[in-house]
Every structure is written in C-alpha cells, then in structure tokens.
Structure 1
C-alpha cells in the first residue's frame, strides 16, 4: 500500500522476502566443478547459515549475533531487504518507499530501529481526494468506500483463533470458518463493511472473497487492526525504510554474501554444507544449522537435499502475484489519487489482474502504482497492463493522464503462498510447522508467518532459542 492509503485506513476508523532464484547457469556449473578443489580460505565456518536476506533473514542474522552465534547470510540480490525497497529520485533527492511502507507500533519494532539509530514517526503523508475508477473502462465509478463500522466486531471474531497473523498454528480440527471462502466468513459474522478495507490493505492476496478466510485474517489480523484503530502505524522519519537494511548490512559486514546463488545443500546429523557461487568465486559454508527464509516453492530448492516429506509439503503451495512501481505521469490534479473499483461486483472489488491504485508520492510528477494478479504473470505483460490501464483513463476523458515513464518496476512475486481449502482442513499447516528443526533446518518468512515485517520479527523471537541452541 502507499503511505497515503495507509493514512486513509486510519482516518476511516477515526482513530519489505527475498525470492532467491536458484538456477543452473554455465557459471554455476563451473562453480560446482571447482568446489572439489576449494582450499581452506574458501571455506566459511559458521554456527548458522541463513539463506535469504529479506525481512526474516536479516533480522535473524542480527539477533543470532546478539546471542553469540556466528552467521553467514546468502542473498541472491545485491542488497538486503527483500520487499523493503526505496526509490531515490535523482532530480529532487526525494525518496519513495515502494515496498514496505509501514510497521506496527510495538516495543520490538522500536528497539530494532533504535539499535541502528533510525528515527521512527507515526505515519504521516499526502492526504488527498480519492477518485474511484473502473480501470477496465477508464471511467469514474459512483462509489465511496464505506466506513468499516464492523471493524471492532471483526477483531472480536478473529481473536478467538489466537495470533494467526503471526503463526499458522491452527486448531485440530481446523474451524470451518477458516477454511470457507472469506465471502462466507464476512456474511456469517455480518462484518461485510470491512471487506474493502481488507482488500485495500491486503494488496497481493489476490481474490480475497474466494480464497479461504484464513489468508485474509492472517494478513489483516489482530496486530493490523489494533494499529488501524489506534492510528499508530510507524514509518521512518526520513521516509526511507531501506535505511534499516543498509545499516544492518554494515553491521553484519563480511557475514553477508550478496549477489550469491546457492548451488548445493547437504545436511546430515553432523551439520550442514552449503555450496555458494559468489562474485569472488565458489565458497563452501560449513554450519551447524540452516535457516531458510526464501519462498518455499520447490523451484527455489534446486540443489537442496530435500527429503520426501519436505517435497510433499512444499509442493502444495500455490503462488499469488504482486507488483509495485513508480510512474512519472502528468494530468492528475494535485491531491488526487485513483483507486480501482468496479460497478458490477460484490463490494465493488475490481477483478484481477489489474491496478489496485495510483497515488501521489510527495515527489512532484511521481506516483506509486500497485498491480495484482491471482497468479504470476510475465513482467512484460504487467508493464503493458499498467500502461494500458492508465491510458484507458485518458481515452475515457476522465483525466488527461500522460504516462511519461514507468520509472521503477519491481516484481514481488511469488507472493502470498497458499494452499487449497482441502489441504488446510487436512492439516497442511500442522505438517508445515513440523518441518521446523527437521534435517537441522529452520524456516521463517511470510509463508510461515505473514506478509508483515512486524509479525515476522515477532515469530523470529520465538524461533531464535531453537536455532541458537
């Protein structure tokens, strides 16, 4: 969501993963061949090897260091931070957080930022007037998002299931409320007024009405609702959330291997060996334990020695898709943002794939744009879709929009990994959680917790004693 949209959520109630791609290129093949001849200076010995340097991997690496454990972090990109990305406009020097926009206000969050000298502030931003557009036609929709009057009742209902916004720790048997489509959940409990709010906040979930209610409740859970009701979401005073990861990178120093690919993982009773292709050549990490924070899709485990149980569990995940960017555009009046709405659907939710909305960033001429799909799409198709949606508004005569450039485009796909209702009812998450510690491996991140950095860090604190033991 944009900062402005988050402000809208709080006003209405009055009150950042890293997808590591493990591929088989010629360079990696050469690294594998060279591994047999590695000398001692190319062997890295650590207590824990962390694969993935997003929200979960970075936090765990920092905290394991606090506990006296040595770590090595392997990250496929050239930076830490995963979905927490900040665009620096070269013309004005302004910054735009295009991934993670807000954090929940709680002591753990404040302490984490404080240790790196980063000032936090209660969310503030660019209040404007929302125009609802059906981007399929480019025309205005006669619609105003209703106030979420049922939010307190929604909070009461979801609280009976415990902190499932932090852990997929479900009762056995799993309550039908969590397995049923979200449209049935809100109808049963008469909380339909929260649906547009859940859709707006939970960008990237996909078709929230037809997915099992578990996923909407996990994303739009107790922590989020408390911060909306209290108007207490936090962001960095510098409007640069990536500062956290820049300073964490400096703190971790040589323990971070950027632009690096995992080629092979071998686990045994005595420890873990991880062969990595780095810009400086192959490295072999020898560790006592392994922490995996990349999305647990089978294609991301190429080279891992997964056993049959691990393959069976991870093979059931289905991926959603989410894309974010910044457009340079003219023709939109100052203080106006556009939200996608449909005139002919339940709750006026727009069909996907499509734009969620376009909003001002505070940098003249730059606008945040968010795009979602129920399944991954070729990036070229998404880029064309964003342009077509914007041009349709101009062709309809709604606003004379002129798209100069899609200045920043980032794919946050895979996003919102989910499974079928039958799998949930059959105990999938019980089996997923049982993988913690199996084969000396622990897991953290959105698929085990939530697409919410605060929830991921909370869950990491619970997992830390087992990893550090």
Structure 2
C-alpha cells in the first residue's frame, strides 16, 4: 500500500522529467515570492524573530524585528503554522505545545538535506545531474553526497546543488567535503567526453544553507496507529492550524493543494 500511496503523486510530467524525456520546469522562487506578496493586503514582516505565541483568550504573537530594542505584539484571530512541525522547529517558533501536540509531533522527522550554490565550469547546455543508482528499486544511502545539481541561469557559472546526509547524524563538514571531492570529478563540459575536470575549491562554495527541514514524515508505526486521523482532528485546536509538506507530500504542487484544502475545510 505504501508504494501505491507514493505513486499517486507522480503526474505524467513529473515521471517524464525523472526519466529525462522532458526538461523539468525551473523557476526562481524569489520571483514567485514577489508576485505572491502583491496579493497580500496586510504587512509582511521580514527579519523578524517571534518570541512567543500566545494561544489564550486573545491570541497574539510577541515579536521583535532585527533592529528593534523592544518587543511588539500583534493580535490574531488564528495561527497557521506553515513549516514542517518537528518538535525542535515548533519549540523555536515560540509555540508552547499541549500534551496532545507534543505526543503527536514527537515522531515527525525530516531528511538530512542540504543546499548549496557552487561556482563550476559550464557543464553543458540545459543539463541537470543526479546521482546514479546501482539498483533503481533501492534508495541510495545518504552519506553527505551531492545527489542533484542544476544551473538555473544559462549566463551564470553558479550551480544549485542538493546533498543528502544521514538524518540521524547530519554533518555540514561531511557535506562540504563531498562537495569538493565529488563535484571536482564532473566540473567540466559533460557534453564533451574528452573534457578534463577542474578542481572545485572551498572558495567556489558561494553559499551553503546548512540542514533544511525537508520532506517531513512519520514512520510506518505512527501511520498504522492512525497518525493522520489524529493530526486532522487537532486542526483548529487553540486557534492553531498546521500546513506543510507533511499534510500531503513534499512537492510544491501538492503542498499548495494541501494548504488550499485546509482553507476550504476550516475557513
């Protein structure tokens, strides 16, 4: 059944992009954020640290901006938590969890996922590179290696690189080491079989994200124990709603669909 659940999310264009028969659609999410911001009527607070979320009789958020010496308070009708609800992330958000929430979100895990921007030689036109699997029916073992890279802009020598590491013991040092070693092997025009690779230096790593809370999920036992039934029943308790890739599947399209479904059901 788990295989059937997984397959329902693979539309024809997604399957074809994985097979390499069509080029996947690429977008600059900064442009997406700018377009979406124009549809929001209220203020958007950037560079803000939330200190506390109060879910009492009058819900409110206590926050401080990057330059502010004093805390500000914003009154709210409801809270929508739009990030993967791991115990660590929820605690850092200023949210004081109830006993039911602590129990529910304790088994939520994420993949050991890192992203980087690396300066490389021109790999070739319209190319994406992914890790080869010895057995396509078996997942690779995440050991800090880069698993997918793609240049977003043809005029730029900066390549977006995504790496996977052991989620139980993620290590930025290990991931950076793999970036230097593994990318040096393919730092060349991949359309030319005789091209010589160029060593990637530490200075070529132009940006490094650290670990990202990617692909939130729960294990088989939690699923068998009715985790999603409990999760859906909790929505709206204490004016709080949760939406992320965990609601459906960690693909942009289905995360958006799940968020829209949440709005239709509760607002």
User: Judging changes above 3 Å, is the alpha-carbon distance between structure 1 residues 254 and 390 closer, same or farther for their aligned structure 2 residues?
Assistant: same
1:365 paired to 2:153: no
Unaligned runs of 5+ in 1: 1-176, 179-184, 186-212
1:424 paired to 2:215: no
Equivalent of residue 402 in structure 1, options 195, 199, 218: 199
Moved more, 287-296 or 349-358: 349-358
Aligned-partner Cα distance in 1 for 2:25–2:125: 23
The answer for the alignment partner of 2:45 in structure 1 is 257
The answer for the alignment partner of 2:59 in structure 1 is 272
The answer for the alignment partner of 1:75 in structure 2 is none
Alignment deviations for residues 413-459 of structure 1 (CA, whole Å, 9 cap, x no partner): 22112222111111111111211111111111112222222222222
CA offset at residue 328 of structure 1?
1.3
CA offset at residue 309 of structure 1?
0.4
The answer for the alignment partner of 2:262 in structure 1 is 463
1:326 paired to 2:117: yes
Aligned-partner Cα distance in 2 for 1:242–1:463: 25
Aligned-partner Cα distance in 1 for 2:41–2:141: 45
CA offset at residue 226 of structure 1?
3.4
Moved more, 332-341 or 250-259: 332-341
Aligned-partner Cα distance in 1 for 2:28–2:127: 23
Aligned-partner Cα distance in 2 for 1:466–1:350: 38
* Matched ranges for 1:132-281 at <5 A: 177-178=1-2, 185=3, 214=5, 217=6, 221-222=8-9, 224-228=10-14, 235=25, 239-252=27-40, 255-268=43-56, 270-279=57-66, 280=68, 281=70
User: Judging changes above 3 Å, is the alpha-carbon distance between structure 1 residues 365 and 264 closer, same or farther for their aligned structure 2 residues?
Assistant: closer
The answer for the alignment partner of 2:191 in structure 1 is none
CA offset at residue 310 of structure 1?
0.5
Q: How large is the RMSD of aligned CA atoms in angstroms?
A: 3.2
* Matched ranges for 1:4-43 at <5 A: none
User: Judging changes above 3 Å, is the alpha-carbon distance between structure 1 residues 309 and 403 closer, same or farther for their aligned structure 2 residues?
Assistant: same
Partner of 1:263, secondary structure, is strand
Equivalent pair of 2:181/2:200 in contact (CA under 8 Å): no
CA offset at residue 400 of structure 1?
1.6
Unaligned runs of 5+ in 2: 188-193
Greater relative contact order, per chain length (Cα 8 Å cut-off, separation 6+): 1
Equivalent pair of 2:122/2:157 in contact (CA under 8 Å): no
TM-score by length of 2: 0.77
Equivalent pair of 1:266/1:274 in contact (CA under 8 Å): yes
Equivalent pair of 2:185/2:197 in contact (CA under 8 Å): no
Partner of 1:403, secondary structure, is coil
Alignment deviations for residues 111-160 of structure 1 (CA, whole Å, 9 cap, x no partner): xxxxxxxxxxxxxxxxxxxxxxxxxxxxxxxxxxxxxxxxxxxxxxxxxx
The answer for the alignment partner of 1:289 in structure 2 is 78
Aligned-partner Cα distance in 2 for 1:334–1:229: 22
User: Judging changes above 3 Å, is the alpha-carbon distance between structure 1 residues 422 and 272 closer, same or farther for their aligned structure 2 residues?
Assistant: same
CA offset at residue 357 of structure 1?
3.4
Equivalent pair of 2:87/2:106 in contact (CA under 8 Å): yes
Alignment deviations for residues 369-408 of structure 1 (CA, whole Å, 9 cap, x no partner): 22112406233332222112223568xx994232250223
The answer for the alignment partner of 1:43 in structure 2 is none
TM-score by length of 1: 0.47
CA offset at residue 258 of structure 1?
1.2
Aligned-partner Cα distance in 2 for 1:316–1:243: 35
Equivalent pair of 2:54/2:60 in contact (CA under 8 Å): yes
